[in-house]
């Protein structure tokens, strides 16, 4: 199967791009996929921290594109997963240190060598974003239920669609079911209806995630945790499995019964898109 290059992006900062990238990387690796995650947030690198690999960095992406390191030297092996590698961003430079052509070049080298390349995009729609989306075949858009985050994803979708890049999927983070029920937060259903792209998965607001990020130990390592389940569902869906969200949010937790409904809605939505 050819390598799939997927960029994780959002427009807005702080909605969970890096957390999504790290956890999708872990979850895909657990499913036996060979995965390389790339941090393109040059000057503000974080992916290494979330993955707990910051003390292993010797070379970074700028060293690679400027010829100081070969690809094999710059890739950092994950502490846990055998088939997961990180290409870290540089911390001392800025976005202009690499170009979209450089990223395409790096991904060309990776194609055929692994199953997935996941690119963690910086916030914004400027050069850093341009770098991150240049080599991608597919896109994972990350939002929270905030109007500002949704509007920014909408803007990014407009930019991508204008370039004919329509293989896009949505991850909704930080959903708080009790607020949705009180009508104080947009529902997943409403968010999907406004953005009109297929839903990849939903991650409820979750303390585990914050702790996991601080410890550099992505929740997806623990497949039994609530958020871990959510990411495994997403990974399986990326591989084409028809996994209902209900599996991510077990019956015993009545709070998440509504997520099932949202995903049922998603099934219908996808079916309509398919025939339309």
Partner 1 sequence: MRGAVSIKGTREGLTITLEQGEFGALIAELEEHLKTQGAFFRSAKVALQVGDRALDQEQLGQLSELLARSEMTLRTVVTSSADTQRAVNALGLRLLEPTSAEGETASTIPGSDGLEPEDRPAPARPVVTAPAPIIRPGNGQEGSRGTLVRRLVRSGQVIRHTGHVVVIGDVNVGAEIIAGGDIVIWGRLFGTAHAGAMGDDNAVVCALDLTPLQLRIGNHVARPGEEARPTRRSPEVAMVRDDAIVVQLWDTLGRFGV
Q: Which chain residues interact with partner 1 by CB under 8 A?
A: 147, 150-152, 154-155, 157-159, 161, 183, 194, 196
Name the residue nearer to partner 1 (CB basis): 157 or 249: 157
For residues 261 and 117, give the distance between their C-alpha atoms in angstroms, rounded to a whole number: 31
Name the residue nearer to partner 1 (CB basis): 1 or 162: 162
For residues 17 and 88, give the distance between their C-alpha atoms in angstroms, rounded to a whole number: 15
- Structure token digits, residue 124: 């914004």
Q: How far is the CB of 155 from partner 1 (least distance, A)?
A: 4
Name the residue nearer to partner 1 (CB basis): 131 or 187: 187
Instruction: For residue 4, give the nearest of 89, 111, 87, 79 by alpha carbon.
Output: 111
Q: How far is the CB of 93 from partner 1 (least distance, A)?
A: 29
Strands (E), the chain: 4-9, 35-39, 76-77, 84-87, 116-120, 138-143, 168-175, 199-204
Name the residue nearer to partner 1 (CB basis): 24 or 156: 156
Interacting residues of 102 by C-beta distance below 8 A, sequence separation 6+: 65, 131
For residues 124 and 14, give the distance between their C-alpha atoms in angstroms, rounded to a whole number: 11
Q: How far is the CB of 246 from partner 1 (least distance, A)?
A: 26
Q: How far is the CB of 120 from partner 1 (least distance, A)?
A: 23
Q: How far is the CB of 165 from partner 1 (least distance, A)?
A: 13
Contact at 8 Å (CB) between 169 and 198? Answer: yes
Name the residue nearer to partner 1 (CB basis): 147 or 270: 147
């Amino acid at each position: 199967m050819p390598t799939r290059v997927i960029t994780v992006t959002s427009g807005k900062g702080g909605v969970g791009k890096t957390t999504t990238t790290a956890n999708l990387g872990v979850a895909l690796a657990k499913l036996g996929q060979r995965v390389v995650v790339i941090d393109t947030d040059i000057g503000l690198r974080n992916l290494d921290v979330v993955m707990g690999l910051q003390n292993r960095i010797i070379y970074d992406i700028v060293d690679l594109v400027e010829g100081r390191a070969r690809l094999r030297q710059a890739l950092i092996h994950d502490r846990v997963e055998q088939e997961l590698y990180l290409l870290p961003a540089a911390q001392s430079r800025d976005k202009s240190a690499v170009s979209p052509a450089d990223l395409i070049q790096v991904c060309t080298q990776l194609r055929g060598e692994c199953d997935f390349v996941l690119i963690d995009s910086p916030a914004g729609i400027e050069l850093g974003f341009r770098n991150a989306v240049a080599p991608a075949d597919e896109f994972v858009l990350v939002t929270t239920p905030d109007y500002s985050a949704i509007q920014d994803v909408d803007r990014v979708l407009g930019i991508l669609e204008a370039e004919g890049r329509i293989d896009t999927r949505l991850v909704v983070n930080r959903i708080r079911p009790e607020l949705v029920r009180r009508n104080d937060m947009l529902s997943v259903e409403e968010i999907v209806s406004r953005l009109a792209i297929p839903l990849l998965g939903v991650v409820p607001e979750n303390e585990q995630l914050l702790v996991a990020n601080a410890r550099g130990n992505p929740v997806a390592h623990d497949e039994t945790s609530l958020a871990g389940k959510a990411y495994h569902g997403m990974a399986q869906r990326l591989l084409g499995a028809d996994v209902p969200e209900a599996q991510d949010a077990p019956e015993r937790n009545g709070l998440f019964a509504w997520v099932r409904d949202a995903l049922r809605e998603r099934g219908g939505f996808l079916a309509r898109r398919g025939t339309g």
